[in-house]
Structure 1
Amino acid sequence: PRTVDWFLVRSSIPVVTIIISYIYFAQNLGPKLMKKHSPFDLSTIIMVYNIAQIMHNVWILSEMANVCWHYYINKMIDLLDTVFFVLRKKNNQITLLHVLHHAGMPAVAFICVRYYPGGHGTLTGLLNSFVHSIMYFYYLLAGLGPSFKKYLWWKKYLTLLQ
Protein backbone atom coordinates (compact mmCIF):
# COMPACT_ATOMS: atom_id res chain seq x y z
CA PRO A 1 0.00 0.00 0.00
CA ARG A 2 1.04 3.59 -0.57
CA THR A 3 0.95 4.31 3.17
CA VAL A 4 3.51 1.67 4.15
CA ASP A 5 6.30 4.21 4.64
CA TRP A 6 4.25 6.76 6.54
CA PHE A 7 5.17 7.65 10.13
CA LEU A 8 3.72 5.11 12.60
CA VAL A 9 2.38 2.94 9.76
CA ARG A 10 5.36 0.79 8.73
CA SER A 11 4.54 -1.73 11.44
CA SER A 12 1.79 -2.39 13.96
CA ILE A 13 4.36 -2.52 16.79
CA PRO A 14 4.41 1.25 17.48
CA VAL A 15 0.62 1.64 17.63
CA VAL A 16 0.20 -1.45 19.80
CA THR A 17 3.01 -0.26 22.10
CA ILE A 18 1.52 3.23 22.34
CA ILE A 19 -1.98 1.93 23.11
CA ILE A 20 -0.76 -0.55 25.74
CA SER A 21 1.46 2.15 27.31
CA TYR A 22 -1.44 4.60 27.31
CA ILE A 23 -3.78 2.13 29.03
CA TYR A 24 -1.09 1.18 31.55
CA PHE A 25 -0.30 4.84 32.30
CA ALA A 26 -3.96 5.89 32.58
CA GLN A 27 -5.00 2.95 34.75
CA ASN A 28 -1.88 2.17 36.80
CA LEU A 29 1.39 4.06 36.52
CA GLY A 30 -0.03 7.62 36.26
CA PRO A 31 -2.28 7.42 39.33
CA LYS A 32 0.49 5.60 41.26
CA LEU A 33 3.06 8.33 40.43
CA MET A 34 0.60 11.10 41.31
CA LYS A 35 -0.63 9.50 44.54
CA LYS A 36 1.71 11.52 46.77
CA HIS A 37 2.38 14.39 44.38
CA SER A 38 0.49 17.67 44.15
CA PRO A 39 -1.25 18.45 40.86
CA PHE A 40 0.82 20.13 38.17
CA ASP A 41 -0.21 23.52 36.81
CA LEU A 42 -0.52 22.69 33.11
CA SER A 43 -2.73 25.60 32.06
CA THR A 44 -0.23 27.04 29.53
CA ILE A 45 0.64 23.62 28.10
CA ILE A 46 -3.05 22.71 27.84
CA MET A 47 -3.82 26.02 26.13
CA VAL A 48 -1.08 25.41 23.52
CA TYR A 49 -2.26 21.81 23.16
CA ASN A 50 -5.87 22.94 22.57
CA ILE A 51 -4.81 25.52 19.97
CA ALA A 52 -2.71 22.89 18.16
CA GLN A 53 -5.64 20.46 18.25
CA ILE A 54 -8.01 23.11 16.87
CA MET A 55 -5.62 23.92 14.03
CA HIS A 56 -4.97 20.28 13.20
CA ASN A 57 -8.65 19.31 13.25
CA VAL A 58 -9.70 22.33 11.16
CA TRP A 59 -7.03 21.38 8.61
CA ILE A 60 -8.30 17.76 8.59
CA LEU A 61 -11.89 18.98 8.15
CA SER A 62 -10.81 21.24 5.29
CA GLU A 63 -9.01 18.39 3.52
CA MET A 64 -11.92 16.00 4.05
CA ALA A 65 -14.41 18.64 2.87
CA ASN A 66 -12.35 19.00 -0.31
CA VAL A 67 -12.38 15.24 -0.83
CA CYS A 68 -16.15 15.18 -0.14
CA TRP A 69 -16.68 17.80 -2.86
CA HIS A 70 -14.68 15.72 -5.35
CA TYR A 71 -16.76 12.68 -4.37
CA TYR A 72 -19.97 14.69 -4.92
CA ILE A 73 -18.82 15.82 -8.38
CA ASN A 74 -17.89 12.22 -9.20
CA LYS A 75 -21.40 11.04 -8.30
CA MET A 76 -22.74 13.57 -10.84
CA ILE A 77 -20.34 12.19 -13.47
CA ASP A 78 -21.49 8.64 -12.60
CA LEU A 79 -24.89 9.54 -14.08
CA LEU A 80 -23.24 9.15 -17.48
CA ASP A 81 -23.23 5.36 -16.89
CA THR A 82 -26.96 5.35 -17.54
CA VAL A 83 -26.68 7.76 -20.46
CA PHE A 84 -24.18 5.38 -22.06
CA PHE A 85 -26.54 2.43 -21.49
CA VAL A 86 -29.42 4.33 -23.13
CA LEU A 87 -27.33 5.45 -26.11
CA ARG A 88 -26.05 1.89 -26.64
CA LYS A 89 -29.58 0.45 -26.23
CA LYS A 90 -28.47 -1.66 -23.24
CA ASN A 91 -31.87 -1.24 -21.58
CA ASN A 92 -31.53 -4.56 -19.73
CA GLN A 93 -28.80 -2.91 -17.63
CA ILE A 94 -31.05 -0.01 -16.61
CA THR A 95 -32.74 -1.74 -13.68
CA LEU A 96 -34.80 0.03 -11.05
CA LEU A 97 -31.98 -0.58 -8.56
CA HIS A 98 -29.47 0.96 -10.99
CA VAL A 99 -31.62 4.08 -11.54
CA LEU A 100 -32.44 4.52 -7.84
CA HIS A 101 -28.79 4.06 -6.86
CA HIS A 102 -27.54 6.56 -9.44
CA ALA A 103 -30.31 9.04 -8.63
CA GLY A 104 -29.79 8.73 -4.89
CA MET A 105 -26.02 8.97 -4.72
CA PRO A 106 -25.73 12.61 -5.88
CA ALA A 107 -28.44 13.58 -3.39
CA VAL A 108 -26.67 11.82 -0.52
CA ALA A 109 -23.30 13.23 -1.61
CA PHE A 110 -24.83 16.73 -1.77
CA ILE A 111 -26.16 16.42 1.78
CA CYS A 112 -22.78 15.19 2.98
CA VAL A 113 -20.74 17.89 1.25
CA ARG A 114 -23.23 20.65 2.15
CA TYR A 115 -24.01 19.77 5.75
CA TYR A 116 -21.46 17.20 6.97
CA PRO A 117 -18.19 17.69 5.05
CA GLY A 118 -15.69 15.37 6.66
CA GLY A 119 -15.73 13.19 9.71
CA HIS A 120 -16.83 9.60 10.06
CA GLY A 121 -19.49 9.92 7.37
CA THR A 122 -16.77 9.95 4.74
CA LEU A 123 -16.24 6.22 5.29
CA THR A 124 -19.22 5.45 3.03
CA GLY A 125 -17.71 7.57 0.27
CA LEU A 126 -14.35 5.93 0.79
CA LEU A 127 -15.84 2.44 0.46
CA ASN A 128 -17.96 3.48 -2.52
CA SER A 129 -14.92 4.96 -4.28
CA PHE A 130 -12.94 1.78 -3.59
CA VAL A 131 -15.66 -0.36 -5.16
CA HIS A 132 -16.04 2.02 -8.10
CA SER A 133 -12.29 1.99 -8.77
CA ILE A 134 -12.40 -1.78 -9.12
CA MET A 135 -15.68 -1.68 -11.05
CA TYR A 136 -14.43 0.81 -13.65
CA PHE A 137 -11.21 -1.18 -14.04
CA TYR A 138 -13.39 -4.20 -14.83
CA TYR A 139 -15.41 -2.16 -17.34
CA LEU A 140 -12.20 -0.94 -18.96
CA LEU A 141 -10.93 -4.51 -19.40
CA ALA A 142 -14.33 -5.66 -20.68
CA GLY A 143 -14.37 -2.81 -23.17
CA LEU A 144 -11.02 -3.83 -24.62
CA GLY A 145 -12.68 -6.70 -26.45
CA PRO A 146 -13.02 -10.50 -26.43
CA SER A 147 -9.28 -11.12 -26.08
CA PHE A 148 -9.50 -9.73 -22.54
CA LYS A 149 -12.43 -11.94 -21.50
CA LYS A 150 -10.01 -14.42 -19.88
CA TYR A 151 -9.00 -11.67 -17.43
CA LEU A 152 -12.58 -11.11 -16.28
CA TRP A 153 -12.97 -14.31 -14.24
CA TRP A 154 -13.55 -12.21 -11.11
CA LYS A 155 -16.88 -10.67 -12.21
CA LYS A 156 -18.86 -12.61 -9.59
CA TYR A 157 -16.60 -11.24 -6.84
CA LEU A 158 -17.10 -7.71 -8.13
CA THR A 159 -20.86 -8.22 -8.03
CA LEU A 160 -20.55 -9.44 -4.43
CA LEU A 161 -18.40 -6.44 -3.53
CA GLN A 162 -20.97 -4.05 -4.97
Structure 2
Amino acid sequence: MVNGNAGKDPSTPAGQGGFTGWTEFGVDPVTPREAERARRDPLAEGPAWVAAETHAHVDRLALSAPAEVRVGAPAAVAATLTQPGGRRVPVTAPVSADWAGSPNLHVGSASGVRPWHVARFDPATGQLTALRPGGRVLLTVTVNGVRAEATVTTAAAQARAAA
Protein backbone atom coordinates (compact mmCIF):
# COMPACT_ATOMS: atom_id res chain seq x y z
CA MET A 1 0.00 0.00 0.00
CA VAL A 2 1.53 3.30 -1.09
CA ASN A 3 0.08 6.00 1.08
CA GLY A 4 0.43 9.59 2.10
CA ASN A 5 3.32 11.95 1.73
CA ALA A 6 5.77 12.95 4.40
CA GLY A 7 7.93 16.03 4.10
CA LYS A 8 6.82 16.88 0.55
CA ASP A 9 3.78 17.87 -1.45
CA PRO A 10 1.75 15.14 -3.15
CA SER A 11 2.84 14.44 -6.71
CA THR A 12 -0.66 14.32 -8.24
CA PRO A 13 -3.55 16.80 -8.20
CA ALA A 14 -5.97 16.57 -5.27
CA GLY A 15 -8.81 15.36 -7.50
CA GLN A 16 -6.68 12.39 -8.57
CA GLY A 17 -5.85 11.27 -5.05
CA GLY A 18 -2.99 13.68 -4.32
CA PHE A 19 -3.40 14.51 -0.66
CA THR A 20 -1.70 13.72 2.64
CA GLY A 21 -3.16 11.30 5.13
CA TRP A 22 -3.02 7.80 6.49
CA THR A 23 -4.85 4.51 5.99
CA GLU A 24 -6.45 2.33 8.63
CA PHE A 25 -6.90 -1.36 7.83
CA GLY A 26 -9.34 -3.71 9.51
CA VAL A 27 -8.98 -7.47 9.26
CA ASP A 28 -11.72 -9.86 10.34
CA PRO A 29 -11.02 -13.55 10.87
CA VAL A 30 -12.60 -16.01 8.47
CA THR A 31 -14.01 -19.38 9.45
CA PRO A 32 -12.00 -22.52 8.62
CA ARG A 33 -14.68 -23.39 6.06
CA GLU A 34 -14.32 -19.99 4.35
CA ALA A 35 -10.53 -20.36 4.33
CA GLU A 36 -10.74 -23.82 2.77
CA ARG A 37 -13.18 -22.59 0.09
CA ALA A 38 -10.76 -19.73 -0.75
CA ARG A 39 -7.82 -22.16 -1.02
CA ARG A 40 -9.79 -24.41 -3.40
CA ASP A 41 -11.01 -21.56 -5.61
CA PRO A 42 -8.91 -18.41 -5.10
CA LEU A 43 -10.75 -16.50 -7.85
CA ALA A 44 -14.23 -16.99 -6.36
CA GLU A 45 -15.70 -14.11 -4.39
CA GLY A 46 -15.23 -14.73 -0.70
CA PRO A 47 -16.05 -13.00 2.55
CA ALA A 48 -15.21 -9.31 2.99
CA TRP A 49 -12.43 -9.80 5.52
CA VAL A 50 -10.27 -6.74 4.83
CA ALA A 51 -11.47 -3.13 4.95
CA ALA A 52 -9.50 0.07 4.48
CA GLU A 53 -10.29 3.69 5.36
CA THR A 54 -8.19 6.52 3.97
CA HIS A 55 -8.02 9.37 6.49
CA ALA A 56 -6.97 12.66 4.95
CA HIS A 57 -5.30 15.33 7.08
CA VAL A 58 -7.91 18.08 7.59
CA ASP A 59 -7.29 21.73 8.48
CA ARG A 60 -10.83 22.77 7.45
CA LEU A 61 -13.89 20.99 6.11
CA ALA A 62 -16.65 22.70 4.11
CA LEU A 63 -20.01 21.29 3.04
CA SER A 64 -21.74 22.93 0.08
CA ALA A 65 -25.50 22.34 -0.14
CA PRO A 66 -28.44 24.46 -1.31
CA ALA A 67 -30.68 26.04 1.32
CA GLU A 68 -33.72 24.56 -0.44
CA VAL A 69 -34.35 21.49 -2.59
CA ARG A 70 -37.58 21.07 -4.53
CA VAL A 71 -39.39 17.76 -5.01
CA GLY A 72 -38.49 16.45 -8.46
CA ALA A 73 -35.30 18.51 -8.77
CA PRO A 74 -32.36 16.78 -7.03
CA ALA A 75 -29.51 19.06 -6.03
CA ALA A 76 -25.75 18.55 -5.92
CA VAL A 77 -24.00 18.45 -2.56
CA ALA A 78 -20.22 18.50 -2.22
CA ALA A 79 -17.67 18.50 0.58
CA THR A 80 -14.15 19.87 0.31
CA LEU A 81 -11.34 19.66 2.82
CA THR A 82 -8.37 21.99 3.09
CA GLN A 83 -4.93 20.66 4.00
CA PRO A 84 -1.76 22.42 5.15
CA GLY A 85 -0.52 24.81 2.51
CA GLY A 86 -4.04 25.49 1.24
CA ARG A 87 -4.45 22.30 -0.83
CA ARG A 88 -8.19 21.80 -1.45
CA VAL A 89 -9.28 18.17 -1.74
CA PRO A 90 -12.74 16.99 -2.84
CA VAL A 91 -14.28 14.57 -0.36
CA THR A 92 -14.68 11.67 -2.78
CA ALA A 93 -12.98 8.31 -3.12
CA PRO A 94 -10.38 7.51 -1.96
CA VAL A 95 -11.00 9.95 0.94
CA SER A 96 -13.07 8.21 3.64
CA ALA A 97 -16.03 10.20 4.91
CA ASP A 98 -18.95 9.48 7.22
CA TRP A 99 -22.21 11.01 5.97
CA ALA A 100 -25.15 11.24 8.36
CA GLY A 101 -28.22 13.34 8.97
CA SER A 102 -31.29 14.08 10.97
CA PRO A 103 -33.80 11.23 11.49
CA ASN A 104 -35.99 12.49 8.63
CA LEU A 105 -33.12 12.26 6.12
CA HIS A 106 -32.17 8.92 4.59
CA VAL A 107 -28.48 8.59 3.72
CA GLY A 108 -27.97 5.83 1.16
CA SER A 109 -29.74 4.14 -1.72
CA ALA A 110 -33.40 4.63 -2.54
CA SER A 111 -34.21 1.15 -1.24
CA GLY A 112 -33.75 2.33 2.35
CA VAL A 113 -36.29 5.19 2.26
CA ARG A 114 -39.00 4.98 4.93
CA PRO A 115 -42.30 6.88 5.34
CA TRP A 116 -40.80 9.40 7.77
CA HIS A 117 -38.02 10.48 5.42
CA VAL A 118 -38.62 13.85 3.70
CA ALA A 119 -35.33 13.72 1.75
CA ARG A 120 -32.63 11.30 0.66
CA PHE A 121 -28.90 11.86 0.18
CA ASP A 122 -26.78 9.47 -1.88
CA PRO A 123 -23.08 9.86 -0.98
CA ALA A 124 -22.06 7.87 -4.08
CA THR A 125 -23.61 10.45 -6.45
CA GLY A 126 -23.65 13.56 -4.24
CA GLN A 127 -27.36 14.04 -5.00
CA LEU A 128 -29.84 15.33 -2.40
CA THR A 129 -33.43 14.51 -3.34
CA ALA A 130 -36.52 16.03 -1.72
CA LEU A 131 -39.22 13.40 -1.26
CA ARG A 132 -41.90 15.57 0.34
CA PRO A 133 -42.28 19.33 0.74
CA GLY A 134 -42.30 21.20 4.03
CA GLY A 135 -39.44 19.41 5.73
CA ARG A 136 -36.13 20.54 7.09
CA VAL A 137 -33.14 18.18 7.26
CA LEU A 138 -29.66 18.35 8.67
CA LEU A 139 -26.88 16.77 6.59
CA THR A 140 -23.45 16.18 8.12
CA VAL A 141 -20.12 14.92 6.88
CA THR A 142 -17.17 13.90 9.06
CA VAL A 143 -13.64 13.39 7.75
CA ASN A 144 -10.89 12.26 10.13
CA GLY A 145 -12.79 13.63 13.15
CA VAL A 146 -13.65 17.02 11.61
CA ARG A 147 -17.36 17.68 11.00
CA ALA A 148 -19.29 20.05 8.72
CA GLU A 149 -23.06 20.40 8.42
CA ALA A 150 -25.79 22.03 6.36
CA THR A 151 -29.50 22.54 6.94
CA VAL A 152 -31.75 22.15 3.91
CA THR A 153 -35.48 22.79 3.51
CA THR A 154 -37.60 20.67 1.18
CA ALA A 155 -40.12 22.50 -0.99
CA ALA A 156 -42.93 21.65 -3.39
CA ALA A 157 -42.13 21.04 -7.03
CA GLN A 158 -41.74 24.11 -9.22
CA ALA A 159 -45.06 25.09 -10.82
CA ARG A 160 -44.97 24.81 -14.60
CA ALA A 161 -45.48 27.99 -16.57
CA ALA A 162 -48.67 28.16 -18.62
CA ALA A 163 -48.10 27.98 -22.37
Pair in the same fold by TM > 0.5: no
Q: Larger C-alpha radius of gyration, 1 or 2?
A: 1
TM-score (norm 2): 0.21
TM-score (norm 1): 0.21
Decide which structure has greater helix share: 1
Decide which structure has greater strand share: 2
